[in-house]
Structure 1
Amino acid sequence: MNSYHKPFTAAILSGGYSRRMDGINKSLLKINKTSIITRTVNVLKNITDSIIIATNTPDDYLQMFTGVDFTEDIIPHKGPLSGIHAVLKQSGKRDVFVCASDMPYIEPQIIISMYNFFTKVSCKVLVPAYNQFIEPLFAFYSGEIFKELEKYMLSQPNPAVHSFINTVDACYYRVGKDQLKTFTNINTLEDYLRLKE
């Protein structure tokens, strides 16, 4: 392991084709000639030696990356929780940093700072927060919560990440206004075109 690498698994949740963007795979959109997911993988490779892409369309990525693992949903149709669950299963007891595949501006410094904080507190999930805003798809999940998550997913008709976090011992990592760009994500074609300007 590189001396700069941290002993956690990084997971990119790629839900595939967006209904709000006419079936486009948002992670493959390019900003400054580089796809969003390629930039994300490159950032993560500088801070960890374990990267997993959670996707039900792995063929989209197999030719793009080396040294990256893939996993598919074990309990499907549960939104992002399906990806988090699959990644926790594959990573064993290792802590997992989770991010969405449509976040073009993630920065390694905040991930490392969050991890260092996570190792010093006794909580199972660490979520960044700014005032009332939280981002559970840019967060650390303890490797120990797999069974809790699975139980929650199987017991809820409409499980949601925010609701699950409320059922476990979660901590919040306070971020400043100047760090909010890191959490930018793309939901619509208008979002993408605005970011390209």
Structure 2
Amino acid sequence: MNLSGITGIILAGGKSRRMGKEKGLIELNGKQLIQYAIEVLKPICETILISTNSNFYDFLSYQKIADEFPDSGPMGGIYSCLKASKTNQNLVLSCDMPFINSQLLKELIENSHEYDIVVPWNGEQRFEPMCAFYHK
């Protein structure tokens, strides 16, 4: 399912203080976390952008977007990538969410027609803006 007109945005910024190393490069089952994000977005998205302020991801062939406003956290990365995106429809996924599947992302897309932003909610008090669908 390749839906033209959708850009995938992978959030791979941050300072990785808690992890001690670049979190997108941490391996789980022999695969770097960022590869999980790429694999789930690739069949759905026309283009993939990586939000990062470092050169850790230079080995990947995707366009890297630096934060327009440094040290502004994940929302700064979302802002900068939405600004750089050439499409109106954008799927955002943090690089450290290896268990997100394409079905969830497709449901976000399917529910996006009436809203500017579609954000998963756990049914209680937690929203997840770093795995969401954003219209520009």
TM-score, normalised on structure 1?
0.64
Residue matched to 1:170: none
Letter in 2 for 1:14: A
The counterpart of 2:101, out of the listed 87, 96, 107, is 107
Gaps of 5+ in 1: 144-197
Residue matched to 1:90: 84
Letter in 1 for 2:35: T
The counterpart of 2:33, out of the listed 30, 33, 36, is 36
Q: Which has the larger radius of gyration?
A: 1
The counterpart of 1:51, out of the listed 40, 48, 62, is 48
Moved over 4 A (4+): none
Residue matched to 2:122: 130
Q: Structure 1 residue 20 and structure 2 residue 18: aligned?
A: yes
- Could you tell me the percent identity over the aligned residues? 33
What is the CA RMSD across the aligned residues, in angstroms? 1.4
Letter in 2 for 1:45: K
Gaps of 5+ in 2: none
Paired residues of 2:6 and 2:90 also in contact (CA < 8 A): yes
Letter in 2 for 1:101: C
Offset, 1:92: 3.7
TM-score, normalised on structure 2?
0.91
Offset, 1:130: 1.8
Looking at secondary structure, tell me which structure has more helix per residue. Answer: 1
Q: Which secondary structure state, in structure 1, belongs to the residue aligned with residue 69 of structure 2?
A: coil
Q: Distance in 1 between matches of 2:35 and 2:11?
A: 13
Q: Which secondary structure state, in structure 1, belongs to the residue aligned with residue 38 of structure 2?
A: helix
Q: Distance in 2 between matches of 1:21 and 1:48?
A: 29
Offset, 1:17: 3.1
Say how many residue pairs are matched.
134
Q: Distance in 1 between matches of 2:83 and 2:18?
A: 30
Offset, 1:93: 4.8
Q: Distance in 2 between matches of 1:25 and 1:17?
A: 8
